[in-house]
Amino acid sequence: MADAVIIAYHRRMVRWEPGAKGRLAAAAMELYRERGYENTTVAEIAERAGLTERTFFRHYADKREVLFAGTSELQAFLVARVSEAPVELAPIEAIAAALIELADTTFETSREVVVRRQAILAANAELRERELSKLAALASAVAGALRDRGISEPAASLAAEAGLAIFKVAFERWTSQSASLPLAKYIRESADELALLSARR
């Protein structure tokens, strides 16, 4: 009885807490790891976070969205950076610079969460396909930003796809068990390697 009161009190206290979204995400990640993504319900996520289902749905459309919530901010960041990049910077270099900044400010400090997320995605084909779809949309948005800067097609789309390729390869190395460098270094290496590869005709 005392426990129930404490839990009820705790719930009331946290309902309006600004950290609710983050706590729901953390609870979801825990549960996806413990019992698998398929076997986890929104009710369980809310319970683990000490919040209500209603609160969950104020922040996320469904349990899948928890894993992709960061994508739109990520896309907006890249589009903004590519749009603002100095005109003398080559398109692929402008994208690489934006990715490196993103790596240092966002990915590097949350490697553990990112790796855990990758493991959840690896276990579920539908989630992996969703991820690919989000990345394809991201490449389209970046290509649009390049066109707005006066880069014509097919250069804009090719640069965006090349930027995505650089990121994918760098990201895979960084999230692998043998990773020893920060993500920014892997991005730099991938960009340099692609330039070398393309020069060899």
> Does 162 interact with a copy of itself (rule: CB under 8 A)?
yes
> Does 161 interact with a copy of itself (rule: CB under 8 A)?
yes
Q: Please give the Cα distance from 40 to 48 (Å, whole number).
A: 11
* Cβ–Cβ < 8 Å for 121, 127: yes
In whole angstroms, the minimum distance from the beta carbon of 199 to a copy of itself comes to 6
Residue nearer to a copy of itself on the CB measure, 48 or 147: 147
Residues 77-116 that bind a copy of itself (CB under 8 A): 90-93
Residues 110-129 that bind a copy of itself (CB under 8 A): 125, 128-129
Q: Nearest Cα to 75, choosing from 53, 99, 56, 54?
A: 99
Torsion angle of the four alpha carbons 117, 178, 125, 69, in this order, in degrees rounded to the nearest 10:
20
Residues that contact a copy of itself, how many (by CB under 8 A): 39
> Does 181 interact with a copy of itself (rule: CB under 8 A)?
no
Two tokens, residue 8: 């009820």
* Cβ–Cβ < 8 Å for 98, 85: yes
> Does 195 interact with a copy of itself (rule: CB under 8 A)?
yes
Residue nearer to a copy of itself on the CB measure, 12 or 201: 201
DSSP for 129-164 reads: HHHHHHHHHHHHHHHHHHHHTTPPTTHHHHHHHHHH
Residues forming the site for a copy of itself (CB under 8 A): 90-93, 125, 128-130, 132-133, 136, 153-155, 157-159, 161-162, 164-166, 168-170, 172-173, 186, 189-190, 193-201
